[in-house]
Chains A and B, each alone.
Chain A
Amino acid sequence: MKQMLEYVHGDSVIHRLNPLVKLLWAFLTCIACFISSNHLFLLGVLLSTVVVAASGSVLARAKGVYKALFILGFLLMLFQLLFTPYGRVYFYILPGVPVTDQGLSFSLLLMLRMMAALSPLSLMLMLTPMNELLTAMTHTLRIPYRYAFVVVTALRFIPTFSREMDQIMQAQRSRGHETDTRNPFKKVKVILPMCIPLLISSVRRIETMAISLETRGFNTGPRSCRKKLGFTRFDALAIIIVMAVLLLSIIIG
């Protein structure tokens, strides 16, 4: 989880794009994936995200994202497959539960959509420095700094919390608490009580953070920003491509 949202430092064309362009890409791609119900289109979009990941040289990191999305999509696909009774029946998986051609096609679409729509969001975060995102949100989108800061800080705390959770799990495991189980219901039952120590330590950390903010002049007045966000022809090109994809999704349907 922590690796899916963390920025990876680099100096690729993608890294240098204006953060707003990347934000636009993530959102419009997502929308395009929901507009279109064409398998090939979605597959194309998915492949294009792989190209983006590769050119930002975060492919190794992105693999985890694709894997997680695949598992999620696969579960979704199974459900969809079992609960679509219409269309030509291929075979019965259980008495009265048919697997049909429409079911297969639709569930496959769902999985592709899921993967193609969500991976850009994760890639965007991997390829955009937080502070640029923050600058883009406050200076260009005019979101008040306080609110933009909340969003960015929430993302920043994910690795911290995940490390903390690991620690708590290990502490429990070392005292003989069984945490490894394949049964998802049992897993929830096992993990739920551990959320309390996580919550407590988080609150404590957040207090330290608040003090740290206070002692470093947070919200004392107008803020300057270190980086001027440029707009290059690559940004223009990227916007054109994104728009074209959106248009294509509408045309293809």
Chain B
Amino acid sequence: MSLEFAYYPGCAAKQIQREADWAARAVCQQLGIRLNDMPRASCCGAVSLRETKPAFAMAVAARILSEAEAMGRDLVTICNTCLQTLSQANYRLQNEPELLEKINAVLAEGGVRPYQGKIQVRHLLWVITEQVDPHLLRSKITRPLKGMRIASFLGCHSVRPVEIYAHSANEENTPHLDQLISIMGGVPVNYTGKDRCCGFHVMLSDKEEVHAMAAKNCLSAKDAGAQIMITPCTLCDMIMGSSQELAAKTVQRTIDLPEMNFAQLLGLAMGLTKSQLGISRLHVDPVPVLSKIGLA
């Protein structure tokens, strides 16, 4: 079975968090997952666009879904907020025929192909843990993580609201990241901050609160024995990793918990090089931790 998708990395992975995109492409190549670029796809608009221009937000999402549908592929992303925004729109467009009709009439004003509601929106993490042949996945783990204790930070928008994520009806048991950690030879760490919020969406307006959240959640992982944290989301990466030192300063604590995108750690476990995976772009240097298990 060949896995082929319309690939929607999201704005962050195209700009500030580019390393997540490199890692996603690299691990997909290893696993035989074909990612087709979507040259016409715009920014999804996130929750913000749904607030400022609700109808435009729905049309923007439908236009993206329509492009994937025209490519004959389900859409796959590596940003939790893109996942939620597009899944929410897709859920409504697939379940509210009148809305679909209205939005297709709007798309027609722009000369856009109507959306027929036929595709699914997927996270790359789900594809890897649910759709890739488990034997193939295991066979690619050539540099196992040797019991490294890893905190999975789920990120709000890949687990909530449950209504739109039918397959993970019990959000408290969303197993994908922890499953992947076990497959890579690591040990998932249980900690209270796991399903909390990184605060990305209010990072500019409520900076101190965001730093307090990030610090609290990172420290709860660290206190539970985590050596490293991974997330499935480029926006969580930006806060939990790139802004971690700033958060630490705010709460006057040392955190020093290496954080990276799940695809980067998976790439390392597959024996891919650090430069392929953009490891040097991480703000909290993971090399000391990785070198303990011979990965750096």
Q: Do A and B bind each other?
A: no
